[in-house]
């Protein structure tokens, strides 16, 4: 498949990836992207199958365009994202336990107070605000760094660092170049926040270090596992909250439905993750020749999996372009699938359910009140600004 029109600059596809995704799905189950000489999958079944078959589609050669077999990674690889069994097993088991649904339940109670305060302060200032900066970014930044237990100093580096990491999965375009001058400073700041002695006694960070004390992981692994929380846990949830707010602001009937049935808040978040897929893409690398949909992908090649496209595939989803709380969005690939599926998904869902339940009680309507603006990132489907006007109960 030739590059889409106007692809010298990344603008058009990042502004609206849906037309390209439709072309990609129409072009076949596996497509060669000539510009980068990589393979791509945009249909649900093939993406799902590749994510499930980690033996054939490895992560250890990197989940970006760069192939770690030949190219030195720009940072020490993630022990979770950029690893496969057996190395992946211990770090994954440690985080799965710390971030499990039962383990994090007590956080929900204190987060509810944070959400109420944030929303009351916002409404006290007026009925118009920016749903991205004032809510979708403000809430995770208020609760998540405290839950990890990092110091106050350096928290302003979390979003810029995450933004660069997600750009750095490639391709190496002007978005990556834009981040380059700050990489060393941001990386040093994030690394300093992973050290045992700066972390509070009771957070996820301390629990990771406690796992090292028990011998479940090594002391060398602990700070890199904390780094994964700081990398993968902020920009993702910010954009997940942004899209659920955007979806409700543009689907008022769905907001009415949520207010009638507040228990739908969890479905709402997963439907929003399906609908916009804040993490749009990840690569895998083949460990053997493999035939997919009649095409041969040779060993050692990069395959780009379009999670966002799979989540809009009409072969899998009825009326995929509708944001609809009456559907069952489970099985969406927005958190990935298989052994690498988002280990922080229960945290993300808890953040979303907490803020949505406060909003559903307090706000009768939400609408877009000005020009919306996307934030362009190579991997994330992101928002810079969503001006909204709300009415209160
Ligand atoms: C990590 C990491 C970084 C980016 C994304 C991600 C979505 C994980 O450092 O482990 O998962």
pLDDT in tens, 204-219: 999 999 999 999 999 9
Q: What is the DSSP letter of 234?
A: S
For residues 309-316, average pLDDT: 98
Tokens 């298989």 belong to residue: 338
pLDDT value of position 297? 98
Whose alpha carbon is nearest atom 11 of ligand 1? 232
Residue list, ligand 1 pocket, CB within 6 Å: 78, 80-81, 165, 228, 231-232, 279
Per-residue confidence at 9, pLDDT binned at 50, 70, 90? low
Whose alpha carbon is nearest atom 1 of ligand 1? 228
Given a cut of 90, whether residue 225 has pLDDT beyond it is: yes
Q: Which of 73, 74, 76, 78 to mutate to test ligand 1, by most ligand atoms within 8 A of the CB atom?
A: 78
CA of 166 to the centre of ligand 1 (A): 8
pLDDT value of position 70? 98
Going by C-beta distance under 8 Å and a sequence separation of 6 or more, which residues neighbour residue 221? 79, 90, 91, 212
Whose alpha carbon is nearest atom 6 of ligand 1? 232
Per-residue confidence at 1, pLDDT binned at 50, 70, 90? confident
Whose alpha carbon is nearest atom 8 of ligand 1? 232
Per DSSP, the three-state class of 85 is coil
Of the listed ranges 8-17, 25-34, 174-183, 372-381, the least confidently predicted one is 8-17
Given a cut of 60, whether residue 7 has pLDDT beyond it is: no
pLDDT in tens, 79-123: 999 999 999 999 999 999 999 999 999 999 999 999 999 999 999
What are 130's strand-pairing partners?
Answer: 387
Q: What is the atom index within ligand 1 of the atom nearest the CA of 80?
A: 10
For residues 239-255, average pLDDT: 98
Whose alpha carbon is nearest atom 7 of ligand 1? 232
Task: Single out the residue of 73, 51, 59, 61 nearest to residue 305, CA to CA.
Answer: 51
CATH classification of 38-392, choosing from 2.60.40.10, 1.25.50.10, 1.10.630.10, 3.40.50.2300?
A: 1.10.630.10
Per-residue confidence at 10, pLDDT binned at 50, 70, 90? low
pLDDT in tens, 379-389: 999 999 999 99
pLDDT value of position 4? 72
Q: What is the atom index within ligand 1 of the atom nearest the CA of 166?
A: 4
Task: Please state whether the predicted TM-score (pTM) of the whole model is above 0.95.
Answer: yes
CA of 228 to the centre of ligand 1 (A): 6
Per-residue confidence at 11, pLDDT binned at 50, 70, 90? confident
Q: Is 242 left (phi over 0), alpha (psi -120 to 50) or beta?
A: alpha
């Amino acid at each position: 498949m030739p590059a889409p029109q106007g692809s010298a600059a990344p603008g058009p596809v990042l502004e609206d990836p849906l037309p390209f995704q439709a072309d990609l799905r129409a072009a076949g189950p596996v497509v060669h992207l000539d510009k980068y000489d990589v393979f791509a999958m945009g249909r649900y079944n093939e993406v799902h199958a590749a994510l499930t078959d980690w033996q054939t589609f490895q992560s250890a050669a990197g989940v970006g365009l760069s192939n770690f077999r030949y190219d030195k990674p720009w940072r020490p690889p993630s022990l979770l994202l950029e690893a496969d069994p057996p190395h992946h097993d211990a770090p994954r088991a440690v985080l799965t336990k710390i971030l499990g649904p039962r383990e994090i339940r007590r956080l929900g109670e204190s987060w509810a107070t944070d959400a109420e305060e944030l929303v009351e302060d916002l409404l006290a200032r007026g009925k118009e605000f920016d749903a991205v900066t004032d809510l979708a970014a403000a809430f995770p930044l208020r609760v998540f760094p405290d839950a990890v237990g990092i110091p106050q100093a350096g928290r302003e580096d979390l979003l810029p660092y995450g933004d660069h990491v997600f750009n750095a999965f490639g391709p190496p375009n002007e978005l990556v170049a834009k981040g380059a001058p700050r990489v060393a400073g941001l990386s040093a700041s994030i690394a300093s926040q992973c050290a045992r002695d700066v972390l509070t006694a009771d957070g996820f960070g301390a629990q990771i270090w406690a796992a090292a004390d028990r011998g479940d992981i090594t002391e060398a692994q602990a700070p890199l596992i904390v780094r994964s929380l700081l990398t993968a846990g902020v920009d993702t949830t910010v954009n997940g909250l942004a899209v659920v707010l955007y979806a409700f602001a543009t689907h008022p009937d769905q907001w009415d439905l949520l207010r009638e049935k507040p228990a739908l808040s969890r479905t709402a978040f997963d439907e929003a993750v399906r609908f916009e897929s804040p993490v749009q893409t990840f690569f895998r690398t083949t460990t053997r020749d493999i035939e997919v949909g009649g095409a041969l992908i040779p060993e050692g090649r990069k395959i780009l999996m379009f999670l966002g496209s799979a989540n809009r595939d009409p072969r899998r989803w009825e009326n995929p372009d509708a944001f609809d709380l009456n559907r069952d969005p489970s099985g969406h690939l927005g958190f990935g699938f298989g052994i690498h599926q988002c280990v922080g998904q229960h945290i993300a869902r808890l953040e979303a359910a907490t803020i949505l339940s406060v909003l559903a009680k307090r706000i009768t309507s939400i609408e877009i009140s000005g020009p919306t603006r996307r934030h362009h990132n190579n991997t994330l489907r992101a928002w810079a600004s969503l001006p909204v006007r709300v009415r209160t109960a």
